[in-house]
């Protein structure tokens, strides 16, 4: 079969292609994970403490490239790039104020909202807090979910994850 030279304008990916061998250089969706906790209890997390998500391999949890450390509860970027992270934290347990955010390396991630990515105050009703961020990371940067102020959460009903976008 003759080879086709690709011009500088690129390839129209709307066309249909049949590939053989290995296609490389496609980082989107790589370094993906979802982690939760294998316990079903409430816990209180101190201000700035990392939320414990120790399970990246059971149920629908996964870690495609071994980038999540289920002991330190941190994601470790395998390469420089743009990443997206999210969390869903089930919280309250009679605590009227709970907040969560992200820890980048050893510092709270500070966006236009300060270090809060979710916050609830004034009611002790159980609820799910959600937060997300798209961020540039260098190789070996770490990300974790942390409490912003002492916060209660149900570790069995909470989870987080992320992936490399580009």
Residue pLDDT, tens place only, 34-46: 999 888 888 889 9
What pTM does this model have? 0.78
Question: Which architecture does CATH list for 33-164?
Answer: Sandwich (2.60)
How much is the pLDDT for 12? Answer: 61
Enumerate the domain spans of the chain.
33-164
Measured CA to CA, the distance from residue 165 to residue 108 in angstroms comes to 22
Residue 99 CB partners (closer than 8 Å, separation 6+): 116, 118, 119, 120, 129, 147, 148, 149, 151
> For residue 33, what pLDDT is reported?
96
CB 83 within 8 A of CB 135: yes
Reported for 11-18, long-range contacts at CB under 8 A and 24+ positions apart, including other chains, are none
110-142: per-residue pLDDT in tens? 876 666 666 666 777 777 788 899 999 999 999
């Amino acid at each position: 079969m003759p080879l086709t030279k690709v011009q500088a304008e690129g390839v129209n990916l709307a066309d249909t292609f049949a590939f053989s061998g290995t296609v490389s250089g496609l980082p989107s969706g790589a370094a993906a994970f979802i982690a939760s906790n294998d316990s079903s209890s409430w816990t209180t997390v101190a201000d700035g403490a990392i939320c414990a998500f120790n399970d990246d391999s059971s149920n629908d949890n996964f870690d495609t490239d071994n980038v999540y450390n289920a002991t330190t509860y941190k994601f470790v970027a395998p390469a420089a790039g743009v990443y997206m992270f999210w969390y869903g934290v089930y919280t309250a347990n009679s605590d009227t104020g709970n907040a969560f955010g992200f820890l980048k390396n050893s510092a709270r991630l500070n966006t236009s909202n300060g270090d809060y990515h979710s916050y609830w105050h004034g009611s002790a009703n159980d609820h799910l807090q959600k937060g997300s961020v798209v961020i540039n990371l260098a190789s070996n940067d770490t990300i974790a979910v942390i409490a912003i102020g002492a916060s209660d959460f149900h570790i069995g009903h909470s989870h987080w994850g992320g992936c490399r976008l580009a």
